[in-house]
Amino acid sequence: MTTSSTTSSTTPTATAATPATTLDDLRTRLTGRVVEPHDADYDALRTVAAGGVDARPAAIVRPATDDDVVATLAFVRATGIPVAVRCGGHSSAAHSTVDGGVVIDVRDLLGIEVDADSGTAWVGAGHTAREVTAALAEHGLAVGFGDTGEVGVAGITLGGGIGFLSRAHGLTIDNLLGADVVTADGRVLRTDAANHPDLFWGLRGAGANLGVVTRLRFRVHPVRDVVGGMLLLPATAPVLAGLVAAAQAAPDELGVIVNVMPCPPLPFVPADVHGRLVVMALVCWSGAAEDADAVLAPIRSLAEPIADLVAPTPYAGMFPPDAPPEHPTVVARGLFTDVVDEPLAARLLDRLAEVDGMRVAQLRVLGGAIARVPDDATAYAHRSARVMAYVAAFVSPEDRDERAAWVAATAAALDRGVPGVYVNFLGEEGPDRVRDAYPGATWDRIAQVKATYDPENLFRRNQNVPPAAV
């Protein structure tokens, strides 16, 4: 058994009282690094996942301790320079960087401490989902982070966290038991259901609006091997509608992510299929292995698979290999929906067939444990949504407007009037769309929490909820 040795305080540290006012001064106060444009690794460290982004921060701070974050925020307040917070750097809106400002890059805040007896783990905010999943796998444990290993655990968690295990064990935020946070005024707070519960409520869904999270405490679950992988099916309306319906009817232990897209040049797929529209189902059965065939039978019976790679695998094997360092420019739009029937599926396939190039419509079946949490329990307020949809296309400067119009029209074809959008899939789409992510009373409550912990809106490089007027 191991336990966390992390410590925290509830008052500003000494570094906040006499803030640095130059980068040279700041550098002398930090255990971690200050990276400037003349440093050899500046370009590598400033790069984010989103394509078409060439922000040049004045400095990238790589804190090694909470006090480093405190000192950096004091510098930001004293100088008025804008600040962004980065973990994995996968913000669709490129909020992980800021031109001419300071990026607090938490990727050196590491450490994973697993208490298998209590089913909990403390995790440094700088880790990726792959790193945490691998560390937990050594104990036969897991927490759901999504479907991509490269993402930072802090970023995906604070926005909600929808992935293969969500129907069985809830969103990532539903498994967040506590966190260490540096607030805008330089306090280091340990927050959970009993300590600063208003802040803890907001951290579970409000993204980076409320502070710099440095450590997270998760509830973890016994998950060792799953039955999962890729099932490649023909792109027909009956297959697509049937797949979504079968996933919705399945036990909660089945997670399904559906991508309708041109078939990549996969070596195990006939060459004449490459480039043709296919239904790529990524399935993950985390229940008893002997039940997998029966659970998956309704999906496998929809059509003769083009490829069936579903097999027993360690849960960590559900993450694809790290992607090559490419940064395509993407236009996208997310939404929630309820039912994907055959007429809607046919419209979607027609839309995808109208254009060429790389494009995808993704459908994630929700429900299960996600829906058993009340809407007002966390700042993620879309518990009743049954399906999450996401339409995206790669673009170039020459065809951006045309592709953006296609994405908007295709998303509209999927829209059945279900309100809301998942904040982690939200790009730079304007304040109304941020309101869609945080509807009604959720917006008002986040704004009140913001007024308590960040009344000056220091943390505004995000899907921003301004503080309520005090």
Give pTM, 2 decimals.
0.94
Domains of the chain: 14-108 (3.30.43.10), 112-222 (3.30.465.10), 225-431 (3.40.462.20)
Residue from 453, 463, 462, 455 nearest 198 by CA: 453
- Residues forming beta bridges with residue 312, ordered by sequence position: 227
**CA distances in angstroms from 286 to 4, 144, 250, 269, 294, listed in the order given:** 28, 11, 12, 27, 13
**What are the residues whose beta carbons fall under 8 Å from the beta carbon of 470, sequence distance 6 or more?**
451, 455
Q: What is the DSSP string of 65-127?
A: SHHHHHHHHHHHHHH---EEEESS---TT-TT--TTSEEEEGGG---EEEETTTTEEEEETT-
- Residues forming beta bridges with residue 353, ordered by sequence position: none
Q: pLDDT 10s per residue in the chain (470 long)?
A: 343 333 334 444 444 568 999 999 999 999 999 999 999 999 999 999 999 999 999 999 999 999 999 999 999 999 999 999 999 999 999 999 999 999 999 999 999 999 999 999 999 999 999 999 999 999 999 999 999 999 999 999 999 999 999 999 999 999 999 999 999 999 999 999 999 999 999 999 999 999 999 999 999 999 989 999 999 999 999 999 999 999 999 999 999 999 999 999 999 999 999 999 999 999 999 999 999 999 999 999 999 999 999 999 999 999 988 766 778 899 999 999 999 999 999 999 999 999 999 999 999 999 999 999 999 999 999 999 999 999 999 999 899 999 999 999 999 999 999 999 999 999 999 999 999 999 999 999 999 999 999 999 999 999 999 999 96
What's the DSSP call for residue 64?
Answer: S
Q: How far apart are CA 382 and CA 400, in angstroms?
A: 30
Q: How far apart are the first and last CA of the chain?
A: 46
Q: How far apart are CA 213 and CA 191, in angstroms?
A: 10
- Residues forming beta bridges with residue 259, ordered by sequence position: 280, 362
246, two tokens: 């079968």
| AA letter at 274 | H
The dihedrals phi and psi of 223, each to the nearest 5 degrees, come to -140, 115
Q: Are 207 and 423 in contact (CB under 8 A)?
A: yes
